[in-house]
Structure 1
Amino acid sequence: MSPRERPFAQVDVFSDTRYLGNPVAVVLDGDGVDERDMARLAAWTNLSETTFVVPPSSGEADYALRVFTPGGEIPFAGHPTLGTAHAWLEAGGVPKSPGTVVQECGAGLVAVRRSASGLGFRAPRPRRTGPLDADHVDRIARALRVGRERIVAHQWVDNGPGWAAVRLASAAEVLALEPDDHHLRRLMLGVVGPHPPGSPLSFEVRAFGLPAGVREDPVTGSLHAGLAQWLIGDGTAPPAYRAGQGARLGRHGVVAVETQGEDIWISGESVTCVRGTVHL
C-alpha cells in the first residue's frame, strides 16, 4: 500500500496545561498501515506510546486501538486510551452509545467517558495480581538503591504492560529515588508513596519501563489503574483520591481515581498540542 496523508494529533494527557502532562501521538486513520511501519513511527516519535485507530472487530466498539512503545506493541495503556479518545472526539467522532466511547484493544473492550475530572477510562481487569516473590522484591530494592526494609508492600498490578508495584512509606521517599538503570532494565516497575494528610494529592507515583524503551514515564494511566485496584482493595486508599506523577521530569500530571460500584475509573484532563497529517 502506497504511503498517504493520514490525520494525526499529539495530545498531552493528565494535564490541562500544554506540555506538562504525558504526550501521546495518535494516527486517527491507521487502517491498512503495515505493523512494521507502525513500529517504525513509534520509534521515531520516541514518545512512551504512539497509537493507531483501526476498524474494530466488535460491533460494540467505536474503534480498535493498537498501541506501540518505542520497544514494540503492548495490549493496553492508559494515557494513550484517553489521548486517543480525546483526539477522536475532537476530530468529529460520534460514539455509538451517547456519552461513552468504547475502545477495542488487546485488553478487550474499554469504556471511556467524560467526568468533572476530564475523560476517564474504566480500569480493565488485571492480568496478574498477588504479592511479588522474594527474589523479585530483592531485585527491585537493588534497582531503587534502597534497603529491602523500606519496601512496605508489593503487588503485581499488571493489566497489560506487565507492571509490578512497590509501596514506600512516603511520597518524599518516592521523589528522592535515584534508580540504577542496570537493575531496572528488566523491570516494568511502579513505585507509590502517600503524601502527608491534608495534602491536595493523596499519593505520588513514579513509573519505570526500560523493557518498553521508556526509562521513566511522565504519567501512566495503566499503572494508576492497577495501583488503585490494589490500594483501594486493601484499604490503603479511599474510594476516591487524586495522585501526582511526573514531578521529577518537570511535569505536573494529576490522575483522578473514582470508584463506582465494582468499577474503578481513571480520569484526567487532556489538551491537543499538535494537529496535522502524517505520511504512512
Structure 2
Amino acid sequence: MTARTVRFKQVDVFTAVPFKGNPLAVIFDADDLDDAQMQAIARWTNLSETTFLVKPTEPAADYHVRIFTMGGELPFAGHPTLGTAHALLESGYQPKTPGTLVQQCGAGLVELNALDGGAWAFAAPPARVTPLPADLYGALSDALRTDAIDFSAQPCGMDNGAPWLVVRVNSAAACLAIEPDAAALARVVAAVHTHGVAVYGPHDANGPATFEVRCLMVGGNLGAGEDPVTGSANAAIAGLLSAQQRRPGLAYTARQGTVLGRAGQVSVRYDDAANKTWVGGSTVTIVDGTFRLP
C-alpha cells in the first residue's frame, strides 16, 4: 500500500534572510488528519509551531489553519499566520480579493494585507487585558533579575489567542541583559493566566529598530525557553502601547531574537480610521517538498 503524501513547506518568518527568523512547518491538505495525528506531527517536527491547512468552513475565509505547538493547539499565533499565508500563496493560491487574505483559525477570522516587497501583515486580534497586581511587582523584578522595569507602564497579561505578560523595561540594552529565573517567573505569570513574558525596551533614536523584544516562555502550550520572533507577542505589545497611550507614532519596528543569533524584524502600523493594528514582516521558504503521512 502506497503511503499518502501531501505538500510541505518549512519557512522562516519575520526575516528575508534564511535562518534569521522563526521557523514554521506547514502541512497542506490536512483534512483527513485527526487531532492526535496533528499533534504527533507537531511533536515530530520539533518546532515551536506546525500548521495544518484544511478546507475553510466560513464563506468569507480564503483558508482554514490549525496551529499546533509541541504541547497542544493554539487558537491564534502570529508567526504561523504569516508563514502559512506565505506558503499558501507561494503554492499558487489566488486570494478571493487581490492583496487581501482572510484566515480562519481557532480565534475566528483574521485579515491579512499585502505589504511592499512581498511581505504580509495580519490585523491583530482583540486581546483580553489583565493588569498584574502591584503586590507582584517585586516578584516580577526578582524573576527577571532586573531593576530596569518601567512600572509607569503597568505590566499586563494580554491574551489574543496566545497569552503573554507584557513588561516594559527602560532600554533595549536592559532587555538584552535579562537572565530570568524561570521557576520564579512561572509563578508570576500564572497570576495573569499566561505562560510567558514579552519584554520590550526602546532603542536609541538611531538604533536598529524602535524596540527590542524578547519572549520568555515558562511552560504550557507555549513551551519553555525563549522564542526567536513572536507575532502574537508583538501584537500584544502594540495593543498595550495604544491602551497606555505610549505609541511611538502611527508606525514602528521591533527587533527580536538577538540573543539567540537571529535578526527578526517586525513592523507595526496603526490604522485608527479602521480601528486595526497591523503586524507584519517578511517570510522566506527554506524547505519545499512533500510530507509522508502516517
SS in 1 for 2:15: coil
Q: CA deviation at 1:138?
A: 4.3
Matching residue within 224, 232, 255 for 1:244? 255
Tell me which moved more, 80-89 or 129-138: 129-138
Shift of 1:243: 0.6
TM-score (normalised: structure 1): 0.93
Distance 1:191 1:157 in 2: 12
**Higher mean displacement: 82-91 or 43-52:** 43-52
1:266 aligns with 2:267: no
1:77-116 mapped onto 2 (5 Å cutoff): 77-116=77-116
* 1:1-280 equivalence runs, <5 A: 4-116=4-116, 118-126=119-127, 128-134=128-134, 136-147=136-147, 151-153=151-153, 154-185=155-186, 187-211=195-219, 212-237=222-247, 238-260=249-271, 261=273, 262-280=275-293
The CA deviation string for residues 15-74 of structure 1, in whole angstroms up to 9 with x for no partner, is 010000011100022111121111111112121111001111100001111101111111
Task: Give the stretch that moved more between structures: 198-207 or 14-23.
Answer: 198-207
Cα contact 2:148–2:170 (8 A) shared by 1: no
Deviations 1:198-239 (A, max 9, x none): 324110100022322141100000111111111133232222
Q: Is there any run of 5+ residues in structure 1 with no aligned partner, and where?
A: none
Q: 1:98 to 1:150 in 2, by over 3 A?
A: closer
Give secondary structure in 2 for the equivalent of 1:86. Answer: helix
Q: Deviations over 1:150-194 (max 9, x none)?
A: 544312221011111111111100000111122244532110111
- Aligned to 2:33, the other structure's residue is in SS state coil
**Are the structure 2 counterparts of residues 67 and 136 from structure 1 closer, same or farther at C-alpha, using a change threshold of 3 Å?**
farther
Contact kept, 8 Å, 2:149 with 2:168, in 1: the verdict is: no
Shift of residue 196 of structure 1? 1.3
> Size of the alignment, in residue pairs?
278
Between 1:115-124 and 1:12-21, the stretch displaced more is 115-124
* Paired residues of 1:70 and 1:214 also in contact (CA < 8 A): no
Question: Does the aligned pair in 2 maintain the 1:138–1:148 contact within 8 Å?
Answer: no
- Judge conservation of contact 1:141–1:151 (CA < 8 Å) in 2: no
SS in structure 1 at match of 2:16:
coil
Question: Which amino acid is 2:255 matched to?
Answer: G
| TM-score, length-scaled by structure 2 | 0.89
CA separation of 1:184 and 1:274: change in aligned 2, threshold 3 A: farther
Q: Which runs of 5+ in 2 are unaligned?
A: none
Instruction: Give the secondary structure class of the aligned counterpart of 2:93.
Output: coil
CA gap 1:225/1:4 in 2 versus in 1, 3 angstroms: same
> What is the SS of the residue equivalent to 1:224?
helix
SS of the aligned residue for 1:232 comes to helix
CA deviation after TM superposition for structure 1 residue 109, in Å: 0.4
Following superposition, the deviation at residue 112 of structure 1 comes to 1.2
Q: Residue 91 of structure 1: CA displacement?
A: 0.3
| Matched residue SS, 1:36 | helix
Q: C-alpha displacement at 1:3, in angstroms?
A: 5.4
- How far off its partner does 1:268 sit? 0.4
Q: Structure 2: how far apart are the matches of 1:278 and 1:34? A: 16
Name the aligned partner's letter for residue 270 of structure 1: T
- Cα distance in 2 for residues equivalent to 1:197 and 1:80: 31
Q: Partner amino acid for 2:97?
A: S
